[in-house]
């Protein structure tokens, strides 16, 4: 026996969420329809709104509802200092730590040749162009201390070699294999102040 087509469709749609298999998708669907129609309505509206309004910042690739995000246009930030991170959640984590007053570049992932994610997919052509065109004094590599994050950092070190910019890697009070967004603020602050020059 199958559920009605609309129910089946919702179950299938919910499976686009990370970590949601058929059983949990079914549970969520039945819950929404049976117990929380209001929640379902506002979920649908919020999804619609976010997908229509949120795009990438033209300068740093972070999510924003503007052409250029609030961090990139903030005149109080040091625009000669760029911190490279993997995700918007990492930007938030670094911001919460209060240890950084420069600007960001958000890769929206990391190099992963096996999944077909090369330099262009994580915006490294645009990033390289910025380093060439702008007065950048230091690039801080804050990709995750995972295998992919390290590989991405090494690629960037290579890419920036000879561009006359100081390159540093955050120190790893950040646990090996850990992700930036789960590291507490003071550990992250130490990781920034203890960053070491790599180029």
The one among 69, 142, 153, 191 contacting Zn ion by CB under 5 A: 69
Cβ atoms of residues 82 and 105 within 8 Å: yes
Q: Are strands 196-197 and 78-85 parallel, antiparallel or unpaired?
A: unpaired
Cβ atoms of residues 117 and 111 within 8 Å: yes
Least gap, CB of 72 to Zn ion (angstroms)? 3
The one among 57, 85, 111, 180 contacting Zn ion by CB under 5 A: 57
Binding mask 168-197 for Zn ion (x = CB under 5 A): ------------------------------
The one among 59, 110, 190, 195 contacting Zn ion by CB under 5 A: 59
User: How many Cβ atoms are within 10 Å of 171's Cβ, its own excluded?
Assistant: 14
Q: Residue 103 forms beta bridges with which residues? A: 82
Residue 165 binds Zn ion, judged by CB under 5 A: no
- From first CA to last CA, the distance across the chain in angstroms is 63
Least gap, CB of 74 to Zn ion (angstroms)? 10
Residue 82 binds Zn ion, judged by CB under 5 A: no
Give the binding range for Zn ion (CB under 5 A) out of 24-32, 72-80, 92-100, 126-134. 72-80
Taking the least distance from each CB to Zn ion, the nearer of 57 and 153 is 57
In whole angstroms, what is the distance from residue 192 CA to residue 55 CA?
A: 28
Residues 6+ apart with CB under 8 A from 83: 94, 100, 102, 103, 104, 105, 139, 140, 142
Taking the least distance from each CB to Zn ion, the nearer of 57 and 170 is 57
Residue 72 binds Zn ion, judged by CB under 5 A: yes
Q: Which residues bind Zn ion (CB under 5 A)?
A: 57, 59-60, 69, 72
């Amino acid at each position: 026996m199958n559920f009605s087509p609309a129910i089946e469709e919702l179950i299938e749609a919910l499976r686009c969420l990370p970590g949601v298999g058929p059983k949990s998708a079914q549970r969520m669907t039945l819950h929404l329809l049976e117990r929380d129609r209001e929640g379902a309505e506002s979920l649908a509206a919020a999804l619609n709104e976010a997908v229509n309004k949120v795009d990438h910042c033209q300068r740093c690739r972070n999510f924003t509802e503007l052409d250029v995000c609030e961090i990139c246009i903030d005149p109080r930030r040091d625009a000669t200092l760029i911190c490279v991170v993997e995700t918007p959640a990492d930007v938030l984590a670094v911001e919460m730590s209060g240890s950084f007053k420069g600007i960001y570049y958000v890769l929206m992932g990391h190099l992963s040749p096996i999944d077909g994610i090369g330099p262009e997919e994580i915006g490294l052509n645009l990033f390289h162009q910025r380093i060439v065109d702008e007065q950048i004094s230091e690039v801080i590599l804050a990709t995750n201390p995972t295998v992919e994050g390290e590989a991405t950092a090494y690629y960037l070190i290579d890419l920036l070699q000879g561009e006359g910019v100081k390159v540093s890697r955050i120190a790893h009070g950040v646990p090996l294999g850990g992700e930036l967004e789960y590291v507490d603020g003071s550990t992250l602050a130490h990781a920034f102040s203890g960053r070491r020059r790599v180029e």
